[in-house]
Structure 1
């Protein structure tokens, strides 16, 4: 019966043209700003690095370079690492994970489920990580787009496996907190470059309650409340027995002093110094946090026209989370300074305000 209802809705929509939807307008009142944040998206020229090598008599598995898609892909990456460990068949069940972000924590969780003894070595812990900056928007890895077919297949496999894993948290007994299905509405300015998210889904006409009308698209996707998810994952890893040690590694040689015979490198951009990785393409992002708005239950995304005079690429993304309404966005290539730029923040806010008024 359900498929008949869905089919009827699709046929009706196709006959009458774009569906009209009525949406609450996000209230981006400046007095409601509760904070700002900045983080680096760790893209790599050759995509995610998941491979093994030997560091003297220690098996070293690399697992990093997720390019801002850590929450989306981390469990897919964990499965790849588990397969590598199974291939090597090392007798020891004691593993050292280097790095305490979402990639390392997801792997730690799955290793613990498989009976491994897990020691996590990191300089910082939740909530003081780049992973805590991430809003939690479902973000398949699409950049850079000139990767080898083998690497593209790896990314797709990780996406598929991670999505299948997180979908299990939508039921009555979720494995992780903060996982949900969210409705996404995407719009774009006339000359904005199309992207996968601005071309997928069904065409709609959105009527906002401030009187603005926009043509766009609607689709449904997984969404992660980054605050709830990271806190829950961190808690579960500790409860399952992982041993956390705060430490700073200066060189790869420092790792030889560890007792574990299996090391998994999840240090992300820490690999630049530790392992001389020259493949990184750091892209900075900045966010504005507004007081949470319970009536906002959808993702608003708007692609903007490129400014040839500006090396930064701006867009508008408004994402509801339990602790805040989060506004992004910008891609700032080659920027690694973790200081808020007030001029960029002002432009992010100004772009969003103009979009919601129908001026962009």
Structure 2
């Protein structure tokens, strides 16, 4: 990909690369050397630069700390056998970032700034991209308010940053989930479709209670009746019941428009898999677990990729899902996505860019 913006780059004096154990990566704990930064003031983005990754200096009256104007994205870069760095569906992340920005009264970020900042940062940090299969360089773009002002109103100034971290698998084993029918993640008219920090803060307490009870994640239900499955805490959720793939729609404003979700749906259509984008009710899920028609359940997300579900708790009762063969849909779609991400197979939908 050809660069267009001449970004000033300040390199670190001492890289942490040599002291990084790539065979023992804990997700989100190891940060690479540099970050891309842009500032918004006087109605425009300016002072674009790549600098050493370092702590930020914030005024105690910073608007984000008090009123939560903060949005983020997550995507991954991979390295193929030829050593080329490949990024999966970055354009979709840029579009979703701006959808979140609009909902949170934050400024539009031009595609050129997002893509050039990311590609030039990844070009500089290419040695940080792991080579082991299943590992990747997680890319975190985010935007937050920077006004130093105590008052409930949208900020006039913002900062946009991209940093990266080498990661292994988010889940190293199939996950256990619990259907949540008391707490609410999102309601119609709220911010559920935005990738904003406050959504995740509100989910922490119920998620912790589930983890204390032995579950990895919750299956959130709708805020009105708690009768319909929406999504999981770190991923969208899909079910295969009696040969048909079912996943919640994203037109209610309560569910994140997952990019991995969208990719899986596209591949399902390519393969002529029976597919329904509709809400699965809790009672339908319980019935399918009891009568054995639930063939597969799996999460989809950038961090989780394809997370197989092995146990579901519904109304206080645990149900174990049957073991799956490698020709099951979730395994086939995971292999297809990996093949595309590492440029090992054809990319018919132009999902990848090579740096």
TM-score, with length taken from structure 1: 0.26
* Higher RCO (CA < 8 A, seq sep 6+): 1
User: Which of the pair is proportionally richer in helix?
Assistant: 1
